[in-house]
Structure 1
Amino acid sequence: SVVSIGEAVLPVLNKNRNRVHLYDKDKQAWMLESDISGKYLAFKLYYTDVSHVPRKCTRLVSFDLAVLSIDLERPTIKASNGPFSRYYVQEDLDEGFKMHTNIPVRELQNPRCEFLSADDQKVTVHIHWIDSHLLTTPTYHSLDDVSRLHKHQMMREILALQSENYALEKQLYSYQKSIARTHSRGQSESEDYPPDRNHYHR
Structure 2
Amino acid sequence: MVTLHRFVPLQDDCDTHVFTFLVSSPHDIKDENSGEFTYACHKWCLRLERKDYDRTLGAFLCLQRVRKRVVCKVDYALTVLHTKDAARNVSFQRKQCEFIHGHSSQGQRSLLLEEELRQGYVDSDGNLTVELRIGNCKTTFGAILDILPRGRAGFPRYDSSYFEYGGFDWNISVHPNGEHMENTDQSYVRLNRLTHFDHFCRLKYRLTARFADEKIDTGAKEELFDFGGKGRDHQIDQSLGKLTRRVRLFLHVDLFSAAHVSQVKVYATDSMKNRAFLRDTEKQCWCIESDVNNTKHVKLRLKYMDVFQMPPDYSRYVAWTARIVGPAGAYPCKGGPFSALYVKCEKDAGHEMITTLPTVEVTRKSSGLLDVYGRLTVQVDLLTSHMTYRPTYGTTDTVVWRQCQQLREQVQFQDQLSSGSATTRLSGDGSTGHRQPNYWAM
TM-score normalized with structure 1 length: 0.64
Q: Select which of 353, 378, 381 maps to 1:128.
A: 381
Q: Select which of 346, 349, 353 maps to 1:99.
A: 353
The AA in structure 2 aligned to 1:130 is L
Question: Contact 2:308 / 2:344 at 8 angstroms: preserved in 1?
Answer: yes
1:58 alignment counterpart: 315
- Flag structure 1 segments of 5+ consecutive residues without an equivalent: 146-202
Q: How far apart, in 1, do the equivalents of 2:373 and 2:308 lie?
A: 34
- Flag structure 2 segments of 5+ consecutive residues without an equivalent: 1-40, 42-165, 167-258, 400-442
Structure with higher strand content: 2
**Rg (Cα) greater in structure:** 1
Structure with higher helix content: 1
Is 2:284 aligned against 1:21?
A: no
Q: Identical aligned pairs, as a percentage? A: 26
Q: How far apart, in 2, do the equivalents of 1:10 and 1:111 lie?
A: 17
Deviations 1:114-160 (A, max 9, x none): 3222x22211010001111101116747xx99xxxxxxxxxxxxxxx
Question: Contact 2:267 / 2:274 at 8 angstroms: preserved in 1?
Answer: yes
The AA in structure 2 aligned to 1:19 is R
1:108 alignment counterpart: 362
Q: Secondary structure at the match of 1:51?
A: helix
Deviations 1:26-80 (A, max 9, x none): 11100111011212101101100001111121100011001111x2xx4311111
Q: How far apart, in 1, do the equivalents of 2:338 and 2:394 lie?
A: 30
Within 5 Å, give how 1:155-166 maps onto structure 2.
none
Q: Paired residues, what number?
A: 139
Q: Secondary structure at the match of 2:316?
A: strand
Q: How far apart, in 1, do the equivalents of 2:342 and 2:273 lie?
A: 27
Deviations 1:91-130 (A, max 9, x none): 000000001112111211223323222x222110100011
The AA in structure 1 aligned to 2:345 is E
Q: How far apart, in 2, do the equivalents of 1:67 and 1:31 lie?
A: 15
2:438 alignment counterpart: none
Within 5 Å, give how 1:37-52 maps onto structure 2.
37=293, 38-52=295-309
**Runs of 4 or more off by more than 4 Å in structure 1?**
138-141
Q: Secondary structure at the match of 2:367?
A: coil
Q: How far apart, in 2, do the equivalents of 1:32 and 1:79 lie?
A: 13
Question: Contact 2:280 / 2:382 at 8 angstroms: preserved in 1?
Answer: yes
Note the aligned Cα RMSD (angstroms): 1.9
